């Protein structure tokens, strides 16, 4: 991946699991609400509720891949489109969100 730029719109949970296992440098931004995070979360994520993204966009790095996630992938896809429209070309959506992660990668994780 030249320059650590991500050229995809979304990745699947298996790719994220590979990146975590391989030590690939990335940031995982979780845009769910605090009550959702209380049920389950992926350790190490940067938690910024969707409605707070415009005011906290400076917290999202531009120098490495950024994976945006939510419950099923809808809100995070909106955030990816919003960030991309503002010139961030390093952001992708996690297809299926935390629910897909719980189903396919970590079945011990709480679901809602």
Topology classification of domain 10-105: Oxidized Rhodanese; domain 1 (3.40.250)
Which residues carry out catalysis?
70
**pLDDT band per the 50, 70, 90 thresholds, residue 5:** very low
E strands, the chain, are 10-11, 27-30, 46-47, 66-69, 91-94
pLDDT at 1: 39
Average pLDDT over residues 92-104: 97
Mean pLDDT rounded to a whole number for the chain = 93
CB 59 within 8 A of CB 48: yes
Average pLDDT over residues 19-42: 96
Average pLDDT over residues 55-82: 96
Annotated domain spans of the chain = 10-105
């Amino acid at each position: 991946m030249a320059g650590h730029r991500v050229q995809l719109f979304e990745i699947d949970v298996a790719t994220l699991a590979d990146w975590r296992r391989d030590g690939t440098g990335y940031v995982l931004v979780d845009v769910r609400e605090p009550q959702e995070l209380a049920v389950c979360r992926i350790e190490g994520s940067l938690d910024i509720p969707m409605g707070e993204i415009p005011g906290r966009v400076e917290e999202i790095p531009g120098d490495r891949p950024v994976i945006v996630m939510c419950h099923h992938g809808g809100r995070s896809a909106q955030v990816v489109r919003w960030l991309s429209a503002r010139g961030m070309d390093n952001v992708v959506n996690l297809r299926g969100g935390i629910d897909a992660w719980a189903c396919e990668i970590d079945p011990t994780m709480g679901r809602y």
